[in-house]
Amino acid sequence: MRESGRWSAQRPVKFNLIDKVQSLTEERIVAVKYVSLAEEYLADHFPTFPVLPGVLMLEALTQAAGWLLHLRRDFACSMAVLKEAKNVKYGRFVAPGNALRVEVELAKLTDTGGTFKAAGYLENEQALSGRLELAYFNLAQRQPELASADALLREHNRIRWSVLEQSLSPTQAQL
């Protein structure tokens, strides 16, 4: 939303593409994105053949990898963002009524983020796969005046995780 030539924070758009966490270890997360015809972007993608856009499938993998980073680092940084996606391959359309199962495995942890092997499945068929590199940082590292925003974002991430965490049984979480 734009107001007076600048972006407004009044109505931020946030795609939370992880609906449920099925299992979690320090090295791996398995989560689900349920696709509903009620999702507004499906009206345009595509009007007579609604499917989850490939970029949102990739974003679901990225968000799952981001949760692994946050949990491994005890929410030390406010931002977990996609730095690079390599060898991304798509294999199946994901339509309303489908559940995209996301499996992300930590390949390498670094001081500034991590590299992940990731895939999404529709039942037992691969819908997409790739290697992701995420950057993990605080905004204040680049702009010190944003330290207070970092604190708010870290708390926001903890709250969002507490909602997702409720979908895990104690035997499914091994962190």
C-beta of residue 127 within 8 angstroms of C-beta of residue 57: yes
Question: 68 phi and psi, to 5 degrees?
Answer: -60, -45
- Measured CA to CA, the distance from residue 122 to residue 158 in angstroms comes to 29
**Does residue 174 fall inside a structural domain?**
no
pTM score, whole prediction: 0.89
Known catalytic residue at 156: no
The domain tally of the chain equals 1
**Does residue 151 fall inside a structural domain?**
yes
pLDDT value of position 175: 59
- Measured CA to CA, the distance from residue 104 to residue 142 in angstroms comes to 29
**Does residue 129 fall inside a structural domain?**
yes
Q: Give the pLDDT band (50/70/90) at residue 3.
A: very low
Q: Give the pLDDT band (50/70/90) at residue 173.
A: low
Q: Which of 11, 117, 119, 5 is nearest to 60 (CA)?
A: 119
**Does residue 122 fall inside a structural domain?**
yes
Which of the residues 20, 28, 45, 83 is marked catalytic? 45
**Does residue 172 fall inside a structural domain?**
no
Please state the three-class secondary structure of 135-162 as a single string: EEECHHHCCHHHHHHHHHHHHHHHHHHH
**Does residue 7 fall inside a structural domain?**
no
**Does residue 149 fall inside a structural domain?**
yes
**Does residue 169 fall inside a structural domain?**
no
CATH number at residue 22: 3.10.129.10
Range of the domain at 70: 12-164
**What's the pLDDT tens digit per position in 98-117?**
999 999 999 999 999 999 99
pLDDT value of position 15: 79
Question: 104 phi and psi, to 5 degrees?
Answer: -130, 130
Q: Is 102 helix (H, G, I), strand (E, B) or coil?
A: strand
